[in-house]
Homo-oligomer: A and B are copies of this chain.
Amino acid sequence: MKITEIRNKLIEKELKVTPQRIAILEAIIKLHNHPTAENIIDYIRNNHPNIATATVYKVLDALASNELIKKVKTERDVMRYDAVIENHHHLYCSESDRIEDYTDNELNELLEKYFETKGIPDFKIEDIKLQIIGKFTKTKK
């Protein structure tokens, strides 16, 4: 992902383009395994030693509320961030902190069809996310 692309994403959302925002968004894209705020801070401090912690959190909030990234919550403790915005699910390792994205349009259609006919009483569905818990049988590439 080129910096120009990141810049355009920000412009599309009418967010001011700042070096901090570019650095943070770039970091989340590069650090694919759903980094924590701390991972991001560590990463960007290499090239941008002066970005304040509070700025990182503020930028993460801004990016998330403009749907440029997603917040991902784990059973464990801290918030994690995901650059992938297209609809997808998550694979959680039951033994470690590893999280992977899982995209499956066939499944999405199946669920959509299922709830279309069945529905949930007194509830209007907007989005469905699966948390698939289990074990990875290969280590990360």
* Residues of chain A at the chain B interface (Cβ within 8 Å): 71, 73-75, 91, 94, 102, 106-107, 110, 114, 118, 120, 122-138
Contact = CB atoms under 8 A, between A and B. Distances in A.
A36 B135 CA distance: 29
B75 A123 contact: no
Instruction: Say how many copies of this protein the assembly contains.
Output: 2
Given A73-B74, A114-B107, A130 B129 contact: yes
Chain A binding site: helix, strand, loop or mixed by DSSP?
A: strand
A103 to B, nearest CB: 11
B131 A125 contact: no
Contact of A71 (B75, B110, B114, B118): B75
Given A74-B73, A114-B107, A126 B135 contact: yes
